[in-house]
Amino acid sequence: MARDDAAAILVGVSGDLVGRAVNAVLVPPQADRFAALAGVDTGRLVLNVSGWNKLVLLDSDRVFLFPRAASGVEWFERELAAYQALARTQLSVVPRLLGRWEDPEIYPFPFAAVTRLPGAAPAEPEAFIEQLGRAIAGWHELQPPLLAGARPPRHHDAPYHRWLRRALDPATCASAAAEAADLLDRPARASAWADLLASAAQLASVLVHGDIHEDQLLAADGQLTGIIDWETARVDHPFWDFDLGEWGTGLWRRRRRDFSELWARGWRAYARARVLDTDSRPLETAFRLRHALRLLADHGDPAVLGTIAEHLADL
């Protein structure tokens, strides 16, 4: 089979489609107009279809972003706004916005180009946890920008996520701790949990990525080189960028029995960069209680998250 023919039908495990990939997004007349507008050789583009809200065409030095549907446009615009805000930093791991276009003769929704960062998704993302902690500190130090309409993704409406929001709010952290102690039948732990959650609740809101997981990271030669997909960026509590439970099931399946170490390593690197308390117990308490409440409500997969007893034993 000829290379172009094979490439046109081959989708690899990464979700990349090569060859005349542009025609999976744009029909030939649209592709020709796009090529002239963006100054790109469409024959060398690679298509990534793994994103929920957008299609991605990769060039050697640029990445073109196309919302999949009208419902994804607001998330697309938020991602671009985050890139504009992050341009004020010196973080090399964040893409830079290169251009945004609106041309209905090319595509029915706005589309954009950002810099393509080097590297690939790391096989062992946990090896980069300290580097990630320091990178997170870099954007958390920004004056939080105005991101119009920014909000958490829909799945944060789940009861266990709503509990965590109460736990991280100074006005409700004590009642959230009492609620968790009651539901989990650990009344003697309520006071200690309340103290740790109260400490966490004192942290000011920051710009968060909001969806850091192993597929959002790029690495090469032992270095973290990229953190991508900023469509869930918002101003929120800093802990949301340490929700290792959102990193995908691979990491949890491999490392769930030593997550205390991962949280501690990541938080220490972050806290030192921001001159904060390096004690990771407030972070771990918040997320382990959230996971325990999720399992209690039968919303968590024990094969991934383990058991309630495991989480409570580590608190």
What DSSP string describes the chain?
--HHHHHHH-B-TT-EE-SSGGGGTS-HHHHHHHHHHHT--GGG-EEE---SSEEEEE-SSEEEEEESSGGGHHHHHHHHHHHHHHTTS--TTS--EEEEE--TTT-SS-EEEEEPPS-B--S-GGGGHHHHHHHHHHHHTSPPPP-TT----GGGGSHHHHHHHHHTSTTTHHHHHHHHHHHTT-GGGHHHHHHHHHHHHTSPPEEE-S---GGGEEEETTEEEEE---TT-EEE-GGGGG-GGGS-HHHHHHHGGGHHHHHHHHHHHHHHHHT-----HHHHHHHHHHHHHHHHTT-S-HHHH--HHHHHHT-
Q: Rounded to an integer, what is the distance from CA 93 to the centroid of its chain? A: 13
Tell me the C-alpha distance between 217 and 131, whole Å: 11
**Residue 259: pLDDT over 50:** yes
Q: Which of 23, 65, 62 is nearest to 43 (CA)?
A: 23
- The pLDDT of 245-261, averaged and rounded, is 77
* Token output for 62: 């640029």
In the block, tokens 């090896």 appear at 127
Lowest mean pLDDT among 19-23, 78-82, 154-158: 19-23
Residue range 170-194: mean pLDDT, rounded: 98
Q: What pLDDT score does 68 carry?
A: 96
The CATH number of domain 3-115 is 3.30.200.20:
yes
Question: For the chain, what are the domain ranges?
Answer: 3-115, 125-313
Q: What's the CA gap between 193 and 173, in Å, rounded?
A: 9
Query: Tokens in use for 106?
Result: 């090319």
pLDDT in tens, 103-146: 999 999 999 999 999 999 998 999 999 999 999 999 999 988 88
CA dist 1 and 136 (Å) reads 46
Give pLDDT tens digits for 275-307: 999 999 999 999 999 999 999 998 778 878 889
Q: Is the per-residue pLDDT at 190 higher than 70?
A: yes
Apex 240 CA angle, 171 and 294, nearest 5: 80
Q: What's the mean pLDDT in 202-209?
A: 96
8 A C-beta contact, residue 201 and residue 173: yes
pLDDT at 258: 86
Position 89 scores a pLDDT of 83
> Could you write out the three-class secondary structure of 115-153?
ECCCCECCCCHHHHHHHHHHHHHHHHCCCCCCCCCCCCC
* Confidence band, pLDDT 50/70/90 cuts, at residue 1: very low
Residue 11 confidence class, pLDDT cut points 50, 70, 90:
very low
What average pLDDT does range 177-186 have in this prediction? Answer: 98
Query: What integer is the mean pLDDT of 170-189?
Result: 98
- Lowest-confidence region among 11-15, 62-66, 144-148: 11-15
Q: Are 28 and 35 in contact (CB under 8 A)?
A: no
Q: Which residue has the higher pLDDT, 50 or 131?
A: 131
Q: What is the mean pLDDT of residues 14-25?
A: 71
What's the CATH fold of domain 125-313? Aminoglycoside 3'-phosphotransferase; Chain: A, domain 2 (3.90.1200)
pLDDT score of 9 = 36
Lowest mean pLDDT among 86-95, 179-188, 264-273: 86-95
Q: How far is CA 248 from CA 27, 46, 222, 251, 252, in A?
A: 34, 24, 21, 6, 7
Mean pLDDT of all residues belonging to the chain: 89
Residue of 289, 22, 273 lying closest to 180 (CA atoms)? 289
Mean pLDDT, range 159-181, rounded to an integer:
97
The pLDDT, as a whole number, for residue 248 is 63
pLDDT of amino acid 246: 58
How much is the pLDDT for 10? Answer: 37
